[in-house]
Amino acid sequence: MLKITVKEKPTFKRKRDNYARKLKTQKLINYLQSELRSSTTHGLPYIANTEIHWFERLFWAACFILSCAIIFVLLTSQYTRLVEAPIVNSVEKDYLNWNVSYPAIVLCPVTKIDDEVFAYYINETLNRTGYNLEAYYSAIMSVSLEALNVLDLPPPEILELIKPEEYATIAVDLFKKFKNTTLQLLLNWPITVDTTMTEMGLCHIINSNVAILDDPTKWSDSSVAYAKNNIELSVHDIDFFVQLLNYTDVFKIYTVSPDEVILIGTPALTFETEGFLSFGVQITSTRASEDIKDIPLQLRKCRFRNEVTSNRYPIYSYNRCLIDCRIKMIFKLCDCIPHFYKPLAHERICNLAELECLLEHKKQITTLSTYNETMGRYENIDDLPRSFRDCGCLGNCEEDVFKNDRETYLPQEAMNRVRVSVSAFPKVRVMREIIFSFYDLFLRSGGVVNLCIGASVISIMELLLIALRIPIYEIMQIVKGIWRRYKKSQLPRLSNNKKQM
């Protein structure tokens, strides 16, 4: 039997496709007009109403677009305010209900060596190795980021007698011990005294919560954690003081927060003559409300103590962040770190000869600013900051700042005495509070949208539903088309099966 097929002309097919496309577009327009006429959003029913003059519809369309532009401008300014200044520093004056921290007192003697222990070390190593290591041990004790130029390097064969990993613990053994008779308090309160490694070498720190974390003998002890045990004073304890008797001949005194550490360049008082030195401290206290902890870090622009940025220490502070940045910079430049910093597992301790690298780059390291010529030597410059801002260190959300005040000195023979007290109990303190949050942004956004186009949450949901119906309808049509083609492809198979039966 002859089967006749009729070939469809291209022109007719193109016209048919154009007609179908126009019909589909017209259906979409009719749907939008029907839905927008009943919309509760102001302006849209007028735009979709074909019964009014086209010029009036154009007028309402221009007004709606202008209103949307006003919404965009106002909401952008509100969002900018949320990002740039969501927190305000207010002042509290209810000082009768406060406790303020007594400062941590850092004592860094100029002469750090205990002569008796030093002599024992020299004799012991002389008998064991046959070398006199007096200059070697002196260099281990005296070197610091502040005093790198005092190195008296021993010969290379002697450098191998002591491992660099032992430098810090040896320095602790050779360090002058803190005598119990040195410290006197007005009241018989318990107070901590720790031996701590700093950027100025070994020092004694009184009344610190974090000094134990920098004790070289406890660096490998994972059980050592932050513990708040500093002395806190109320307005009734204004007469409290700490007094030091005959600590050593020449030493530097630093006052910092009990939760902070000192850096190279921290202001200090130097006591180098016999007499009685008395000074007070002024306290500036900053606290944060509980709500601030719930907002993102990029909005509050400060860190709390538990928001650590490094595995080196279990707590965060601004100075510790700078120290960690400096250590990474030293490791990048010298491929090792000095023994007066706490090392991580992947970091190697420098021997005394390798500390010459620190002396070469000392200015860049202390200022945390890498020169262009230094950066040109490295392909990867991730750990080489151009300035301290590149370290990404944020301030502390809660902190106490101490400033020395009211210093007096009286000459005395055969005695040196230092007394540290609080000049005056602070009558005000700064409180960080949220002044603009996501809740405020949501409320103000609703007011702006309602003012400009009279839309509520329900109105916006109506528009959203209108917009969603279109792609849902298209998807359903595609699914139906696929299903029809699938059914048609099954028909020849069914007919063939019937014929075979």
Contact 327, 312 (CB under 8 A): yes
Handedness of CA 332, 338, 343, 347 (dihedral sign): positive
Q: How many residues does the chain have?
A: 501
pLDDT tens, residue order, the chain (501 aa): 444 554 555 665 566 566 666 666 777 777 777 777 777 788 778 777 877 888 888 888 888 889 888 888 888 888 887 777 787 788 888 888 888 899 999 999 988 888 899 999 889 888 888 888 888 888 888 888 888 765 566 666 677 778 889 899 999 999 999 988 888 887 778 899 999 999 998 999 999 999 999 999 998 888 888 888 899 998 888 888 899 988 888 899 999 999 999 998 888 888 887 888 889 999 888 888 888 888 888 888 889 998 998 889 889 999 999 999 999 999 999 999 999 999 998 999 988 888 888 888 999 999 999 998 988 888 888 889 999 999 989 999 988 889 888 888 888 777 788 999 998 888 888 888 887 777 777 778 888 887 788 777 787 787 788 778 778 877 887 887 788 777 777 666 555 555 555
User: Which residues have C-beta within 8 Å of that of residue 121, sequence separation ≥ 6?
Assistant: 133, 137, 170, 173, 174
Measure CA 47 to chain center. 52
As a three-state string, the secondary structure of 208-226 is: CCCHHHHCHHHCCCCCCCC
Contact 359, 149 (CB under 8 A): yes
Q: Any idea what DSSP says for residue 353?
A: G
Torsion angles phi and psi, residue 285, rounded to 5? -110, 140
Counting runs of H as helices and runs of E as strands, what totals does the chain give? 14, 16
The crossing angle, in degrees rounded to 10, of helices 167-174 and 134-142 is 90
Claim: this prediction has a pTM higher than 0.85: no
How are beta strands 395-396 and 429-434 bridged, if at all?
unpaired
Handedness of CA 293, 296, 298, 300 (dihedral sign): negative
Measure CA 352 to chain center. 33
Other C-beta atoms closer than 10 Å to the C-beta of 23 total 10
The confidence score (pLDDT) of residue 326 equals: 94
Of 125, 47, 470, 143, residue with least CA distance to 337? 143
Dihedral (C-alpha) 61, 66, 70, 75: value to the nearest 10 degrees? 40
Of 363, 341, 342, residue with least CA distance to 143? 341
Distance from C-alpha of 300 to C-alpha of 320, rounded to nearest angstrom: 20
Torsion angles phi and psi, residue 468, rounded to 5? -75, -30
The confidence score (pLDDT) of residue 490 equals: 67
User: Which residues have C-beta within 8 Å of that of residue 288, sequence separation ≥ 6?
Assistant: 302, 304, 397, 398, 431, 432
Distance from C-alpha of 339 to C-alpha of 144, rounded to nearest angstrom: 9
Contact 431, 92 (CB under 8 A): yes
Distance from C-alpha of 178 to C-alpha of 121, rounded to nearest angstrom: 20
190-197 contact pairs (CB < 8 A, 24+):
190/229, 191/231, 191/242, 192/229, 192/230, 196/106, 197/168, 197/171, 197/340, 197/341, 197/342
pLDDT in tens, 335-375: 999 999 999 989 999 888 888 888 889 999 999 999 989 88
Q: What stretch of H or E contains 431?
A: strand 429-434
The confidence score (pLDDT) of residue 103 equals: 92
The confidence score (pLDDT) of residue 444 equals: 81
Distance from C-alpha of 18 to C-alpha of 12, rounded to nearest angstrom: 10
User: Which residues have C-beta within 8 Å of that of residue 83, sequence separation ≥ 6?
Assistant: 298, 299
Distance from C-alpha of 205 to C-alpha of 141, rounded to nearest angstrom: 18
Torsion angles phi and psi, residue 155, rounded to 5? -60, 155
Token digits for 54?
A: 């086209």
Of 390, 419, 285, 268, residue with least CA distance to 328? 390
Which amino acid is present at 407? E
Measure CA 324 to chain center. 12
Token digits for 135?
A: 């200059």
Contact 462, 45 (CB under 8 A): no
SS3 state at 206: strand
User: Which residues have C-beta within 8 Å of that of residue 312, sequence separation ≥ 6?
Assistant: 320, 324, 327, 342, 344
